[in-house]
């Protein structure tokens, strides 16, 4: 079965903070497993969201964590237009352990998808090589 397309690839992203130049939110959506988004070190909460450009049917999220991962986080979606204000939680965990998180979701409409980091798994920040959204 072919892998579902990554709807987030090269889309625009917004983050709560960036660690610095070269760690901007868009680095988590560029399809490159070497570049990454990183939040400022030592802060909770932190978040990153992708704007899919229009409302899409999404079926899952993949988070490829760098060493700085989220222990507690949630995935939220929004169908707002413009700056998203109304978020709906579709997944949460309190036992994140880094590496690759593949989160299947029941198909649902979303324009914005957010990883909302509640508690860091390390003293650093949050850092994602890739933030992928699968869909139909």
Give tens-digit pLDDT for 25-54: 999 999 999 999 999 999 999 999 999 999
- Write phi, then psi, for 7 (nearest 5 degrees): -70, -20
Answer for the pair 36, 129: CB distance below 8 angstroms, yes or no: yes
Distance CA 59, CA 107 (A): 5
- pLDDT of 136 reads 83
Average pLDDT of the residues in 94-123: 98
Find out whether 37 and 75 touch, Cβ atoms under 8 Å.
no
């Amino acid at each position: 079965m072919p892998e579902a397309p990554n709807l987030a690839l090269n889309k625009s992203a917004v983050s709560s903070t960036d660690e610095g130049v070269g760690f901007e939110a868009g680095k988590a959506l560029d399809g490159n497993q070497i570049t990454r988004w990183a939040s400022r070190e030592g802060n909770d909460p932190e978040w990153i969201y992708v704007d899919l450009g229009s409302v899409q049917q999404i079926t899952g999220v993949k988070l490829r964590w760098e060493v700085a991962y989220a222990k507690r986080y949630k995935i939220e979606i929004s169908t707002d237009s413009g700056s998203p204000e109304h978020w709906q939680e579709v997944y949460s965990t309190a036992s994140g352990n880094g590496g690759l998180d593949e989160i299947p979701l029941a198909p649902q409409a979303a324009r914005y998808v957010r990883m909302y980091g509640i508690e860091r798994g390390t003293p650093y920040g949050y850092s994602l090589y890739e933030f992928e959204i699968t869909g139909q």
